[in-house]
Structure 1
Amino acid sequence: MQPILHHFRTVHIPGFLPLALITVVVEMLWRLFVIGKGYNFRSSGSTLLIAMGHTLTDALTALILAPVFALAWHFAPWHFSMHDWRVWVIGFFVVEFAYYWYHRLSHEVRWLWASHAVHHTPEEMTLLSAVRLGWTNLISAGWLVYLPVMMLGFDPRMVIILLALDLRFQFFLHTEARINLGPLEWILNTPAHHRVHHASNAPYIDKNYGGALIIFDRMFGTFAAERKDEPLRYGLDHPLGTNNPLGLLFGEWRRLLIDLRRAPNWYAAARIALGRP
């Protein structure tokens, strides 16, 4: 369990943090002085506070989930070697598939959405919005989606590393910079695809769930491209109307708990919690 916990807490990509900070500053200057879209510093300040708190809650989540993932892997009928490059290639697609369903369920199940909605509260698409992440992922239990990956025999350390790389890649998708990758747009998730995912217009809601890849969205009918007649509008469909970090973190939980309290019985409450947002 200790090696798994170590990977949970110390997955590190050399140079990523300086690169991320530089691109955030460059994007801010670009928005302010090149395209004139402005930069919401108050919202960005809230994002930074939320991100710092997420670092702590993520460490606690890792501490609790490490033995759970280790136990799932222990009971797998076989164990794939981390030293075989072919296992890494297959593992990449398996983890990406699991991430697609984790992300999709986080939009389609209200209990999971209460945590994930935090990420969709920014009303402008900037790189910094990538790190506005909820603190309650352990409670919302989306991590259950990854247990079958370990039970198939993939080492939890491999899964954690692949997820970490996937999330680092997604950081650079959160921008309004018009970057077109040509034919790779059919395979990879790109800023254009992810802008659609963050839009709250009706044609764009619940689309483009992929992490590094967009192929599963194309396979399962959840892909959408930006339309010229429908400019993207970012943020929640029903905005929380606050930049207070606690309001952003727990606003959807508050809405959910109010509805659960009003439910006439446990069955109705379960339908609310497990139904669509």
Structure 2
Amino acid sequence: METYGRILLIAMPIFLGLVLLEKLYGWAVKKHPFRTMDVLSSLSSGYTNIIKDVLGISVSILTYGYMVEHWALYKVESTIWVYIIAFIALDFSGYWVHRLSHQINFFWNKHAIHHSSEEFDLACALRQSISSFVNLFTIFLLPAALLGVEPKVIAIVAPLHLFAQFWYHTIYIGKMGILEHIIVTPSHHRVHHAMNPIYLDKNHGQIFIIWDKLFGTFQEELPDVPPVYGITRPVQTWNPIKINFQHLWLLIKDAYRTNNWKDKVRIWFMPTGWRPADVIERYPVYKIDDPYHFQKYAPEASVALRTWTWIQFLFTFALINYFFINIAKIGTPNIFVYGGFLFLCVFAYTELMDKNPYAWAWEALKNAIGLFLIYQNGWFGMSETMPWGTVVLASYFVLSSIVVALFARSLTFYSSQRLSNV
């Protein structure tokens, strides 16, 4: 937990810098629009994912350590080869987990967040799940377990394997010659993120494209079929916490509403997107039928709102850095209190991004809790080392409540004006 937090202290500013460099390149050189809210939604999703991972809020039904201890047939010596085997095993496992997440209704919920952006850029790589609390797929690491690869090796290689999937989320790198036959390239992954019918559910590989070619899920990017990004049931929100549970909530409602008891059970295991016939008729859900003609989600946002959202985002970034630096000192159970507060920060400012007139209530709740935590424990020990820090925090919480209330007032006025003109 603490070690992973230290790794993220280095990785976070690097990823943030690369995301902004790519967007600035696209804006300045390629004359592409800089969709601020989409970028901030993606980056905020990254916040929620790393906080969940650092807190370790998930369990495995079958642990890798158990498999090694009880099922290993051979012991690979601790050389460079054990790390190569671990990397290949992780990639093989990742392919199947990824593929099943696209093919089964229940498992799609944990992956929908990654495809929810209607842009394809480095920022969308950070849209990772927080909705998976039970890991059912450790079994796919069986090849490594049979070879006796130690759990500590997997623990070292896994973050490297994950970070290595960041770079190919871009439209600015074309096809890469011979590498197209070996590794996953931006061209391959553009296909994977597209909702064109010919591209759907293709190219599930994470590092090696070989798995897709072996198991029949490969699709080349076609020059006459430009990829259109997003999902056919668009999320229509910037709030990453809502996005993480949207599909699950739909499954729960459909299972409750259908009159067919068989459908109440099988809905969870049917192909992704399947709904009971009686529910489709009574409760239709908007779906994009023509990927070439649809309106991207983009509520109008003033310069003031975009600027304030950046301020909220960067202040949350500072709070996360303090959390990771002091995680050992904060200790249990306070790390979960702090983590929960960070989730509330993201929820509150992304509600304002969605122009929800009730965003002020979430902001007020967040700031009231923040002020209480300063009063109760000096913001998790900050008052002992940086007394001025708690003054800055308290001032921010008060100011933030006022600013968001003003935004919410203008949103309410705007909504009432629209209704009066209908």
Range class of TM-score, shorter chain: 0.7 to 0.9
Cα drift, residue 133 of structure 1: 0.9
Is the Cα contact below 8 Å between 2:89 and 2:141 reproduced in 1? no
Structure 2 vs 1, CA of residues 72 and 127 (structure 1 numbering), >3 Å: closer, same or farther? same
| 2: CA distance, partners of 1:59 / 1:266 | 40
| 1: CA distance, partners of 2:95 / 2:187 | 18
| 2: CA distance, partners of 1:14 / 1:58 | 14
Which of these residues, 119, 122, 136, is aligned with residue 124 of structure 1?
A: 119
Q: Does 1:99 align with 2:94?
A: yes
| 1: CA distance, partners of 2:86 / 2:201 | 26
Q: Does 1:144 align with 2:141?
A: no
Cα drift, residue 77 of structure 1: 3.2
Which of these residues, 16, 23, 27, is aligned with residue 18 of structure 2?
A: 23
Cα drift, residue 88 of structure 1: 2.3
Amino acid at match of 1:101: W
Larger Rg: 2
SS in 1 for 2:108: helix
Gaps spanning 5+ residues in structure 1: where?
none
| 2: CA distance, partners of 1:251 / 1:50 | 14
Which of these residues, 226, 233, 237, is aligned with residue 232 of structure 2?
A: 237
Structure 2 vs 1, CA of residues 11 and 212 (structure 1 numbering), >3 Å: closer, same or farther? farther
With 41-50 and 13-22 compared, the bigger mean Cα shift is at: 13-22
Which residue of the partner structure matches residue 49 of structure 2?
Answer: 54
Post-superposition Cα deviations, 1:128-178, rounded to whole Å, max 9, x if no partner, equal 111111111224x35434452464232222223333222111111111112
Which residue of the partner structure matches residue 183 of structure 1?
Answer: 178
Give structure 1 regions of 4+ aligned residues with deviation exceeding 6 angstroms: none
Aligned residue pairs: how many? 271
Is the Cα contact below 8 Å between 2:62 and 2:138 reproduced in 1? no
What fraction of aligned residue pairs are identical, expressed as a percent? 31
Gaps spanning 5+ residues in structure 2: where?
273-422
| 2: CA distance, partners of 1:130 / 1:76 | 35
Structure 2 vs 1, CA of residues 6 and 68 (structure 1 numbering), >3 Å: closer, same or farther? farther
Which residue of the partner structure matches residue 301 of structure 2?
Answer: none
| TM-score normalised according to structure 1 size | 0.87
Which residue of the partner structure matches residue 39 of structure 1?
Answer: 34
| 1: CA distance, partners of 2:139 / 2:109 | 17
Cα drift, residue 190 of structure 1: 0.7
Q: Does 1:275 align with 2:274?
A: no
Q: Does 1:204 align with 2:202?
A: no
| 2: CA distance, partners of 1:223 / 1:46 | 30
| 2: CA distance, partners of 1:188 / 1:58 | 27
Structure 2 vs 1, CA of residues 117 and 155 (structure 1 numbering), >3 Å: closer, same or farther? same
Is the Cα contact below 8 Å between 2:191 and 2:202 reproduced in 1? yes
Q: Which has the higher contact order (CA 8 A, sep 6+)?
A: 1
Which of these residues, 125, 133, 143, is aligned with residue 128 of structure 2?
A: 133
Structure 2 vs 1, CA of residues 82 and 112 (structure 1 numbering), >3 Å: closer, same or farther? farther
Amino acid at match of 1:253: L
SS in 2 for 1:274: coil
Cα drift, residue 62 of structure 1: 6.4
